[in-house]
Amino acid sequence: MKRLLPSLREKKRYVVFELQSEKGLDLSDLEPKILDKIKSFLGIYGTSQAGIQMVRNLYKGNKGVIKVNNQYVDHLKAALTLIDYLEGQKVMIKSIGVSGILKKAQNKYIGG
């Protein structure tokens, strides 16, 4: 099977976010809750079109990376700011930056 030409592939962006909470939360607890909140904001169809994926190996401390389609970056940022409570505690998630290259997002925003 042939690979798709680069011009036909979906373009992606990496959104780096920071979680501010009273206690530190583990990514295994955090990931399904964040994806459920995004799904309630965008709907099932919008979430599938956005192609949202958490980059699991880059969650360090309270910073993480979410991969998203380039047309849905603003939708994802809006959905993240609407999250108030996770695991019964008050949290605030803010986006730090957006990059088209994963390595650049890691070096510039996470400090890797």
Q: What is the pLDDT of residues 36-91, one digit of tens each?
A: 989 999 999 999 999 999 998 888 888 999 999 999 999 999 999 988 888 788 98
What are the start-end ranges of the H helices in 15-68? 27-50
On the question of pLDDT at 21 being above 90, the answer is no
In the structure, what pLDDT confidence band is assigned to residue 34 with cuts at 50, 70 and 90? confident
Mean pLDDT, rounded, for 5-12 = 90
Q: How many angstroms separate the Cα of 47 from the Cα of each of 25, 32, 74, 105?
A: 24, 13, 13, 22
Percent of residues, the chain, with pLDDT higher than 90: 51
The predicted structure's pLDDT at residue 112? 62
For Cα atoms 40, 44, 50, give the angle at the middle one, nearest 5 degrees. 100
On the question of pLDDT at 7 being above 80, the answer is yes
C-alpha 77/C-alpha 81 separation (Å) is: 6
Mean pLDDT, rounded, for 14-37 = 85
- CA neighbours closer than 13 Å in the CB half-sphere of residue 52: 28
On the question of pLDDT at 27 being above 80, the answer is no
Which domains, from first to last, does the chain contain? 12-110 (3.30.70.3250)
Amino acid code (one letter) for 110: I
